[in-house]
Structure 1
Amino acid sequence: MTDDERNQHRQSNEQSEVFGPIDAGALREIRDLFVEQEPLVHTASLDDPLNPQTLSIELSDGVGAASTAQIDVRWSLTGNYAAHYSDDRDRNFRFDCHPKPDAPRQHFHPPPDAPSRPVEPSCITVSAVSLVTRAILQRWRYAYTHDTFEELNDAENPP
């Protein structure tokens, strides 16, 4: 193993320790809410049915010129989460809630590339699984309906 590989492995382990173990029940609840609430969900699947780490939601359309999109969700037993939108135009954004140095616990990685830094305070201030899921859906639907990522993180008190 090279020094770079060792550093990446160490950083990955540190991030998973901070994030916490994955809550499979929450991922299933989020999957069900997406399927029930969003007509553009093409598929919503867990990466491993017995020990899921990520829920991947494939959408049959994307924001603006994008023709497909995906939202990957992780949720921990400690209430940390990450919801990462990406599309076939290589645009990304993330709504996250986890400890991050020099950033609020609930933060937003803006489009088009969802950089690690700088981040903004998230407009999603709720913490219950169902409310966070509905807020993410509401913000995705806002971007989709308006064909823009502008004001994506400008909502007040979603959902």
Structure 2
Amino acid sequence: MNNLDLKLISNTITISFLLFFSSCYSQQGHNGTSENIEESKKRKVFICEYTVSENPFRINDTLQITVVEAWLEKQWKYPKDPNETVIYDEFQLIINSKEEDIEGLDVKWSIGVDANKYIRTCSKSDLISDFNYLPTDTIEYLVQKGNQFKGEVPKENIIGRFVLIKKR
């Protein structure tokens, strides 16, 4: 390889690197989740608050989820100005929990048995679920070992349930 080829390769790598990192770390156009109910209300996407019958909510003898805050909000994304909000017609349920309560979620166990209705992690201690409709006052999920979302989940894989109730 001559110097011209090396320079061309080096420039291509540098430009690719810069484009990748400038687009990946820009919030503009990315979906957003409010950090708490207060932010959700500030962005005017808050719908309602949810709670559990007892806190922490015991799924079974070994799993529990402490619900610090749970709320339903309109889905939204960041526009050019991150202090503004672009709102969608769909919804997201966000649950602030404790990091130790959701350890192993999405790998060893999953909340939900259907690819259209399940809860996933969105940070070390936060959970999220998407809805293309306004959910009812009670939202119930089956909890399974593993993370099978195709076909019917065997009954022996169901290890509990997780229920959220709209706060009045």
Rg: which structure is higher? Answer: 2
TM-score, normalized by length of structure 1? 0.33
Q: Which has the larger helix fraction?
A: 1
Q: RCO higher in 1 or 2 (8 Å CA, sep ≥ 6)?
A: 2
TM-score, normalized by length of structure 2? 0.31
